[in-house]
Copies of this chain bind each other. A is one copy, B any other.
Amino acid sequence: MTDSSLVARDLQHIWHPCSQMKDYELFHPLIITGASKAYLHLQDGRKIIDAISSWWCKSLGHQHPRLKRALQLQMDKFEHVILANTTNETIVQLSEKLTELSPSLNKVMYASDGSSAVEMAMKMSLHARVIEGKTQRKLFIALENSYHGETIATLSVSDLGLYSEPYRSLMFAVKKIAPPYVNGEDDARWDNCELHWQSVLEQLQPYAHTATALIVEPILQAAAGMQIYSRDFLRRLRQWTREHDIHLIADEIMTGIGRTGKMLACEHAGIEADFVCLSKGLTSGWLPLSAMLTRNDIYDLFYDDYANGKSFMHSHTHSGNVLAASVALETLNIMTEEKLCARAGEMGGVMLEAMQAIANHTGKLKNIRMLGAMVAADLICDTNKRYGYEVYRKAVELGALLRPLGNTIYWVPPLNTEWETLCELKNITQKAILME
């Protein structure tokens, strides 16, 4: 079987995600035959760096032997069993670990997609209002440039037209407010956004009695182009929502489980949300699993005799899939034992320096920013140009899967990426930007 025939067979049948399929005519799908640590192995014998952790999920890299062993042990016992009215040691242990992440979030519900976790949180917030008799509270508030998923409801609370424009007729209205962006912790607004806050507060006040929840990606808006906003802003949002009995939903699908240098990005602001959504890094990108954490007092609202009709009936076939759960449990063990949150912070420092060096050398980068093991910068170019896409193609040729968001380039490598790999990634990125 030659390369070209597999590519032809692929293009005959597969509609790839988040792609203009015509782009594949010139830029063929890469044929994966293996993977290890931070590298993808291609059929042509090359090994390229997975600089974006396969869409921000493979936080422990590829083929981690402990994750493989965990999955093998579980599959030798049993694979997925319906979680309605059953339990098992694996899912209990995972749930215990997840509820340790945040002091008040003591209940966990499982799904597979990140979008589904966000939908569960949104539904639960609204449903709680129905049970409480606060039916005037039905509005959602979200941040400008937010991204919370691809279902119609998660697109409604998102603010990136690229993903949602054709589906407007099905979407519901959501109040959007602008966060104060910063390029890092050195920005004065990181810890004090008072001026900005006053204008936001004016926009928020009309919704103090009609909003059910405010949803945020805490601190880091990834799909928006790796934008970072003031942690003081998040603190103030938490305070305002608490004062007005509005739920705060933290979509930590991308940020959670160590990516930002903390297990939850909310920790940067020292706050706790009422709902936290996790996925991606939760299984280190091995298997689809998402989790929604919430408070006991919200759980208690739904807890009653069946006849009283308060059950949260969300039925997810693979809720708590035990194969995925076994990998998630071991991922959390490794995160702790190998102190990977701290390492994410160290990586951020190293990568920030490297990105700055590239900027100095090339003169092609601006707005360099960092949070944990995420460093990003914007390419200096005409906004209509697909410079980012050209960098993507060039980087693959040079040895790295670097998939810019428009003209924003970023590094989100596995949290255990070796230092020499980061060095190699720096060199490749620089050459790709210069098209050398």
Enumerate A112-142 residues with CB–CB distance to B below 8 Å: 112-116, 119-120, 122-123, 126-127, 130, 138
A13 touches B108 (CB 8 A): yes
Number of copies: 2
Output the nearest chain B residue to A24 by Cβ-Cβ distance.
B85
Q: Is residue A383 contacting chain B, with contact meaning CB distance below 8 A?
A: no
Tell me the minimal C-beta distance from A306 to chain B in angstroms.
4
Q: Is residue A242 contacting chain B, with contact meaning CB distance below 8 A?
A: no
Q: Is residue A403 contacting chain B, with contact meaning CB distance below 8 A?
A: yes
Tell me the minimal C-beta distance from A97 to chain B in angstroms.
10
B29 touches A86 (CB 8 A): yes
B17 touches A83 (CB 8 A): yes
Q: Is residue A170 contacting chain B, with contact meaning CB distance below 8 A?
A: yes
Q: Contact check: which of B54, B107, B109, B156 meets A17 at CB < 8 Å?
A: B109
| In the complex with contacts A152-B152, A163-B313, A323-B286, A55-B82 CB distance below 8 A | yes
Q: Is residue A349 contacting chain B, with contact meaning CB distance below 8 A?
A: no
Enumerate A148-177 residues with CB–CB distance to B below 8 Å: 150-153, 156, 162-163, 166-167, 169-170, 172
Task: Count residues on chain A whose CB falls below 8 Å from chain B CBs.
Answer: 125
Tell me the minimal C-beta distance from A10 to chain B in angstroms.
4
B41 touches A78 (CB 8 A): yes
Q: Could you tell me which A residues sit within 8 Å of B by CB distance?
A: 1, 6-7, 9-10, 12-24, 27, 29-35, 40-41, 50, 52, 54-58, 62-63, 68, 71-72, 75, 77-89, 91-92, 95-96, 98-99, 106-116, 119-120, 122-123, 126-127, 130, 138, 150-153, 156, 162-163, 166-167, 169-170, 172, 223, 279-280, 285-289, 294, 299, 302-306, 310-321, 323-324, 386, 389, 396, 401, 403
Given A30-B86, A31-B86, 14 further pairs, Cβ under 8 A = A14-B83, A15-B108, A15-B312, A16-B83, A18-B313, A33-B77, A40-B81, A79-B287, A112-B288, A113-B316, A122-B152, A150-B316, A288-B317, A288-B324
